[in-house]
Amino acid sequence: MNATMIARVLWYRRLLRGHERWSRETLLADQQRQLAALRGFAVARSPFYRRLYRGLDAAPLDALPVLTKADLMDHFDEIVTDPALRLADLESYLATLRSNEPFAGRYWVSATSGSSGRKSVVPSDAREWAMMIASYARANEWAGIRADPLHRISMAVVSSTTAWHQSSRVAATVRSPFIASTRLDAAAPLADIVATLNELRPDVLIGYASMVRTLADEQFAARLRIHPRAVNPSSEVLTPETRTMVARAWDVAPFNVYAATETGGIAAECVHHHGMHLFEDLVVPEVVDDAYRPVPNGEAGSRLLVTVLSSRTLPLIRYEMTDRVRLAAGSPPCGMPFALLESIEGRTDDVLTLPAAGGGTVRVHPVVFHQVLDLLDGAGWQVRQENGGLRVLVASPAGRFDPHAIEVAVRRALAAAGANSPPVEASSVDTIPAGAAGKRPLVVNVQS
């Protein structure tokens, strides 16, 4: 990280930490000020937003049209506010990216893995990139890890090592004399990951939640022998069972982090672990149903709309994410002004559509499988919908569980959810199959 970027990140990090002492009223007032500035900039500089918001100058945020991922990518060249940025050029740049060199010397460009469908491409200028890194630094500090010239730390990140993946770009940017950051490919053989971690002995372990659970199992087996001071699962649902496994394996409570390539940090846990505090000084979250109507606190929505207040290069206003989240009712007990995200139940994309017991179809959410599979003696599980049935994979040596009992339990859970169960087959695997970015989703629909 060059000196200018270091200075930017440290400044923004200090600024964000100051916001923790704000009142709720001050936070919301600042949020509205930032929102007005973002909308004005987008309309002035983006042909897409100028057309989309015509006649809506005085409309409240919840009356504005939703921006889907398809909208973002179909109209990318009209949405970006720098006419020199073109999607075709950025995709060519990403296809040959091998280092952390910015596009045109000024834009850090990341892309999503496309695990939920189409990829998103996100360019950030130096100010936006520093703010994004500061959002992750806030999560680390809440977990008790501070990195600066007076506090040196070693960090291991087990996720994607693809150069265009945001976590790779962040790691390359923050690498400095006081942050020894090493990336490990989550799709690599588990034995190789374990051997590298044993050699590194990191202060901080960051990884996909499914991978963190697998590594906890390796620690129990004494193949992994590390003692991190902080463990931050991210990118996937952190189940209560995984949380318990982490606490037992390393004698530290995991700090859940919620983030996305398009947004940077969205929420994270503080030391009280009463839920994840939404970064409402950076984003405006809206929990909505399938018709984009607001969902009351305490109820899970089927979509999350996020407005990224610092976005200027690629303005994101009411950007649709298919995550099913639930906001907590009431105020945080720790006194911070940020509302609490009570739970993340998975993505709407992970919901399976199965025949209903009484005819028609029923949507089955992954929570149905959590109730049956989370307590298994294994390092993870995955339900795959394929060939007209369900395959249940359990990362556990054969003999430590009864496949027939799992199949019966899954069929019963589906019946309780109103579904007419298709054939169910359970089997053991050494490790759960990983996708292109190294993620091991809990539910996979591979129907042709």
pLDDT digits (tens, 9 = 90+) for 248-285: 999 999 998 899 999 999 999 988 888 899 999 999 99
Confidence of residue 332 (pLDDT cuts 50, 70, 90): confident
pLDDT of residue 93: 92
Distance CA 364, CA 31 (A): 36
pLDDT of residue 375: 62
Distance CA 418, CA 343 (A): 24
- Note the pLDDT tens digit of each residue in 305-326: 999 999 999 999 999 998 888 9
Classify burial at 272, counting beta carbons within 10 Å of its beta carbon; exposed 0-12, middle 13-18, buried 19 or more.
Answer: middle
Q: Where are the alpha helices (DSSP H) in 281-429?
A: 367-373, 403-416
- Contacts of 226 by beta carbon, 8 Å cutoff, 6+ apart: 197, 198, 200, 201, 202, 205, 219, 250
The answer, yes or no, to whether residue 117 has pLDDT greater than 70, is no
The answer, yes or no, to whether residue 448 has pLDDT greater than 50, is no
The answer, yes or no, to whether residue 304 has pLDDT greater than 60, is yes
User: Which runs of E-coded beta strand occur in 270-322?
Assistant: 276-278, 283-288, 303-308, 319-321
Q: Which domains, and CATH codes, for the chain?
A: 3-347 (3.40.50.12780), 351-445 (3.30.300)
pLDDT of residue 170: 82
How far is CA 17 from each of CA 4, 22, 129, 288, rounded to the nearest angstrom? Answer: 20, 10, 18, 29
The dihedral formed by the CA atoms of 393, 396, 401 and 404, expressed in degrees to the nearest 10: 20
**Phi-psi map region of 235: left, alpha, beta (phi>0 left; psi -120 to 50 alpha):** left
- Note the pLDDT tens digit of each residue in 403-417: 888 889 889 888 887
